[in-house]
Homo-oligomer: A and B are copies of this chain.
Amino acid sequence: MDKLINYLLAFGQLNQQQIDLITRKAQVLKLNKGNYFSEAGKIPKQVAFIEEGILRVCYYNSEGDEITKYFVDETNFAVDINSFNQKIPSSEYVQAVIDCTLLVFSTESLNDLSATIIQWDGIINKITEKALVEKVNKLSPMLAEDATTRYLNFLEKFPSLANRVPLSYLASYLGITQSSLSRIRKSI
């Protein structure tokens, strides 16, 4: 739980009473590799803070290919924020890439926290904004990079993952085919 609290504290002050409340509202969830935290077609009812492990967000494009939109690692929140906020069915899956320990907040818990902790909304908004800005800044340059560079950058960010994750997850994230990725790996 410390990881979560420290993370929140980086975005705003919280007193001990508030911290205790947050701690009480968080539920530990162990999610095994391959299992889904949330699924397309359903309205997301929870937000996950990743204490250990890595999730990925993926969807099916119009050609029916499964596309990994991004990976989310330790000490970050994961949720289809758009669907969650608007209470509309998600178009994405959120899946454990490796065994994960999550701290889960339900919609109701979040409402309580928002109503009780005056700084809560401000903190959450900062976190949300930062996470989204990072995603844009990550994706944008990828378009101009070649496949090998994109793979090397992935390796840097997720060194432990490259060989433990199905090729398909990675290839679709990098925007290349599995065989291309396989060849790129070989050439390194």
Copies of this chain present in the complex amount to 2
Cβ proximity bits A108-127 to B, threshold 8 Å, 1 near / 0 not: 00000000000001100100
Across the interface, which residues of B come within 8 angstroms of A128, CB to CB? Answer: 125, 129
Across the interface, which residues of B come within 8 angstroms of A136, CB to CB? Answer: 69, 132, 135-136, 139
Q: How far is the CB of A107 from chain B (nearest CB, A)?
A: 17
- Chain B residue at minimum C-beta to C-beta distance from A124: B125
Across the interface, which residues of B come within 8 angstroms of A85, CB to CB? Answer: 129
Q: Give Cα A136–Cα B67 distance, bound, in whole angstroms.
A: 14
Q: Does any Cβ of B come within 8 Å of A172's Cβ?
A: yes
List residues 74-124 of chain A with CB under 8 A from any CB of chain B: 81-82, 85, 121-122
Q: Does any Cβ of B come within 8 Å of A141's Cβ?
A: yes
List residues 129-170 of chain A with CB under 8 A from any CB of chain B: 129-130, 132-133, 135-136, 139-144
Q: How far is the CB of A129 from chain B (nearest CB, A)?
A: 6
Q: Does any Cβ of B come within 8 Å of A50's Cβ?
A: no
Q: Take A61-B144, A143-B174 as given contacts and tell me if A129 and B70 are in contact as well, using a CB distance cutoff of 8 Å.
A: no
Q: Give Cα A135–Cα B61 distance, bound, in whole angstroms.
A: 17
A140 pairs with B70, CB closer than 8 A: yes
A residues engaging B (CB < 8 A)?
61, 65, 67, 69-70, 81-82, 85, 121-122, 125, 128-130, 132-133, 135-136, 139-144, 172, 174-175
